[in-house]
Amino acid sequence: MQLIKPPRLLPGDTIGLVTPAGQVSKAAIDKAIANTEALGFQVKLGRHLEEVHGNYAGPWQHRLDDLHGMFGDPDVKAIWTIRGGSGAMQLLPHLDYALMRRHPKILVGYSDITALHVAIHRHAGLVTFHGPVGMSTLSDYSTGHLLDVLMRPEDEYTIPMALDNSRKAFDEPGHEHYALRTVVPGVATGRLTGGNLALVSALAGTPYAADIRDALLFLEEVNEEPYRVDRMLMQLNLNQPFRAAAGIMLGIFEGCGPAGDGPSLTLDETTDQHLRPLAIPAVTGWSFGHIRHQFTLPMGIRARMDTRRQTLTLLEPAVR
């Protein structure tokens, strides 16, 4: 399917706030509004933001209506998910992919929003953006890269890793997983695809699965023990062998170390089992995931990862 790039954001544009997955509090909505306005944009709220249906932000039909409504609203230039959580997969069979192709718009979020990114890329060909959610506590690093990618398209745009993350690895005990590690050195070029490991692995083998062939596969996770990380990586590898990718980037797996006193591999030992045998470049600890200092990854855009320079370079604009 031909790749579709959404129009770039302009100062003062209206951004629609939606909750396609987990429920949100009034405080989270207020924070998302404040973040949007602080970046110089106007806000439009989804009709069903404050609904609660179990742990979801209302029934799937209402969450879907808000998302479709923002795509169809000519005043809304971008769509920002307030949080991830769970439940975005419920929307996939019901998404109006033709609507998204007719009215391409920026869609930003991460974590459970991975399900939307992967499905929309596969069935609509629309470039969406794995980046901060509306309720994120934004840093200068994450804000700068978000706005550069969405507002200032360049033929090549190089993203260095966040120094604050590297400092955390050395200065704060228990945060060694923030360190940049090259598992297999090299330079690789491919389309960007991936997101949250639990979601990417859950979609494997379905009509909404990510296609990792010749791609730069990026994965991140939070609060999963090493044996669970291993299981999810195994599921992905069994469905589409990692060796078919051009390169693999693991972000920061926050809270994914061994729990308790029982026997366990470390997180690094777990991921290295999958990465070291590969003949493709592979890294861990890159600056994306459930962290404050994260860069934005446009799904489907060609990029180059360089393990020596520890940089990711977007090789084409993500917006038009």
Our answer to whether residue 269 is catalytic in this structure is no
Given the residues 121, 177, 290, 293, the one annotated as active site: 290
Q: What type of residue sits at position 219? A: L
CA distance 125 to 101: 8
40-52: b (≥16 Cβ within 10 Å) or e: ebebbbbebbebe
Given the residues 48, 62, 68, 111, the one annotated as active site: 111
CA distance 284 to 299: 19
CA 260 to chain centre: 29
Let me know: does 177 contact 254? Beta carbons within 8 Å: yes
Q: Report the candidate in 202, 190, 201 with the shortest Cα–Cα distance to residue 237.
A: 201
**Strand partners of residue 314:** 157, 303
**How many CB atoms sit inside 10 A of residue 316's CB?**
17
Q: What is the full DSSP assignment across 246-279? A: SEEEE-B-BT-S--SSS----HHHHHHHHHTT-S
Q: Which residue has the tokens 């794995």?
A: 130
Q: Report the candidate in 173, 166, 153 with the shortest Cα–Cα distance to residue 287.
A: 166
Our answer to whether residue 220 is catalytic in this structure is yes
Our answer to whether residue 111 is catalytic in this structure is yes
Given the residues 220, 221, 224, 225, the one annotated as active site: 220
Catalytic residues: 111, 220, 290
